[in-house]
Amino acid sequence: MLELKNITKTFFPGTVNEKVALNDVSITLNDGDFVTIIGGNGAGKSTMLNAIAGVWRPDCGQILIDGVDVTHLPEHKRAKYLGRVFQDPMMGTAKDMEIEENLALALRRGKRRGLRWRITRAEREQYRELLAGLDLGLETRMTAKVGLLSGGQRQAVTLLMATLKTPKLLLLDEHTAALDPKTAAKVLELTDQIIAEKKLTAMMVTHNMKDAIVHGNRLIMMHNGRIIFDVSGVEKKNLTVETLLEKFSQSSGEEFANDRALLN
Amino acid sequence: MAFFDWLGALPGAAAQGIIWGIMAIGVYITYKILDVADLTVDGSICTGGAVCAVLVTSGVNVWVALAVATVAGILCGLLTGFFHTFMGIPAILAGILTQLILWSVNLKIMGQANLAVPSRAFKVLIAASRVPKSLLVLAGFMIVLIAVLYWFFGTEMGASLRATGSNIQMSRAQGINTELNKIFGLALSNGVVALSGALLTQYQGFADINMGRGAIVIGLASVIIGEAVTARFAKNFAVKLLGVILGGVIYYFVYQTVVFLGLDTDLLKMLSAIVVAIFLAVPYWKKRYFSNPKKKEEKRDA
């Protein structure tokens, strides 16, 4: 499904700020894998997702989606394979546009945008149903500007947008981190539901170890731009936060230095 | 007596206001929709005027002249877009570079700094000597332009352009070619601006190398005035565009009034710039000095 082969990325090479963000990362995802990714700050979690999304090109290595080499495809051309939700709830939607306009933009991901009207009546009905499914009352506010919504509402809409046209791979970059705990739980529940319904392959970065254990069928831990721990199946199900921390110090030779992850 | 002179000058001011309002719609496309400050307009309005003047004076049909002038403006926008996207130059600087290039180009097009297109000698659509007819023609241009833009920004392509201006990261994530859209938006905008330049040349009876100086400020002023006037009821995009034209007309009414009050016309550009500066500062001031939602919440909690 997804193959990363020896991806390396160094930011600000040759300066005092030089930072090896990804160090020879290789991973293969199978169809239907739901991978949770944890690691401290600067471990390379978001960087890996950005490499897949094509925000910039890696220094070396290869990225294949369903056997297609996308390493040199620009971000907007790769978008047809990917659904993305970002940490910042403001980032996934266009605030000056209506809810239904945002959804209509997302439905056309990977298609040519021509001079047809931007939204059809049939689509509207589809959006109304999907929004009603969120249970946030948005189905009656479809022509409201997205900028009027709360962070949680915007994140829920972004999640809909990311999966409206079924992506080959769903990338979730700490998409609940900026939400209050109750809203975060709700968005996470919705995430599980959509991934299960559409049988999506997904990668979810999280700071929350418990979430990383509870969700998905596979767990990856990253440190200093490398994958230091990769576990799936029954072994993953039986993980506890304690064993994860132990694994971390074993593999990295350091204590897990991230209060946010520990406190959760 | 002076009052009636002033009253008599208003229709002419309205005509000029509509012409500059059309120009301001070009500015609206870049500044408001695409979120790019494009300074190309100071040059491209003159390019439109110069092309129109040269063609009309050499006997070309005025409609053809208008079309060619618009295409010339589109090319100006393409150049700025090329500087901005392909060469990675910040938008403001890209616009300034094109503007400077156009100064030379415009002189070469006209062959001199000023080219007369007297309405007595040539067949033109509008002229300051025929204000009522000009107003009708300009109203026609205004309606067609607003209708076309309303349709375009309602299409898939137009919506992707609006998305590019509203949230560029999201646009890329949704598969929109944002670089191409910026180029397209700049081209569209400068096409509209050049069209207004061609109309202005016919109306005033000449094209001049300096006719575009400060156009961006007049454009911004019209956009801002138009927004202020129509803010209450302008939900519809067409109404917003109409508001921009209205902004241009109000700008020229004020201009005319100030002139009649005997103000030194040399000072007008400075005054326009100051007014625009203040209006641009208002949202910033509001955010910085008048709203502090966090503090309020803390108080409520305490």
> Distance (Å) from the C-alpha of residue A161 to the closest C-alpha of chain B?
9
SS (H, E, C) A189-202: HHHHHHHHHHCCCE
What predicted TM-score, i.e. pTM, was given to this entire model?
Answer: 0.92
Which of A93, A105, A150, A175 to mutate to probe the B interface, most B CBs <10 Å?
A105
* CB-CB neighbors (< 8 A) of B171 in chain A: 76, 94, 105
Is B149's Cβ below 8 Å from some Cβ in A? Answer: no
Q: Out of B154, B160, B169, whose CB is closest to A105? A: B160
Distance from CA of A104 to the nearest CA of B (A): 9
Q: List domains and CATH numbers for chain B.
A: 2-294 (1.10.3470)
Q: Would you state the pLDDT for residue A85? A: 97
Residue B301 has pLDDT above 50, yes or no: no
Q: Which residues of chain A lie closer than 8 angstroms to B158, CB-CB?
A: 118
Q: Which of B156, B169, B171 to mutate to test the interface with A (most CBs of A within 10 A)?
A: B156
**Distance separating alpha carbons of residues A242 and A256, to the nearest angstrom:** 11
B170 touches chain A (CB under 8 A): yes
pLDDT digits (tens, 9 = 90+) for B92-131: 999 999 999 999 999 999 999 999 999 999 999 999 999 9
- pLDDT category of residue B299 using cuts at 50, 70 and 90: very low
The pLDDT of residue B292 is 58
DSSP A138: G
Q: What is the DSSP letter of A145?
A: B
**Residues on chain B touching A80 (C-beta within 8 angstroms):** 175
User: What is the pLDDT averaged over residues B19-26?
Assistant: 98
Number of cross-chain residue pairs from A and B with Cβ atoms under 8 Å apart: 82
Token look-up 């000072």 returns B267
In this prediction the ipTM stands at 0.92
Q: Do A95 and B167 touch (CB under 8 A)?
A: yes
pLDDT of residue B220: 95
| B293 and A CB contact within 8 Å | no
Domains of chain A: 2-263 (3.40.50.300)
> Among B152, B170, B178, whose Cβ lies nearest the Cβ of A93?
B170
Mean pLDDT of the region B251-280 = 87
How would residue A1 be classed by pLDDT, with cut points 50, 70 and 90? confident
Q: Does residue B234 have a pLDDT over 80?
A: no
Among the partner-chain residues A90, A113, A161, the one whose CB lies closest to the CB of B160 is: A113
C-alpha B210, offset from chain centre: 16
- pLDDT band of residue B7 (cuts 50, 70, 90) is confident
With 80 as the cut, is the pLDDT of residue A90 above it?
yes
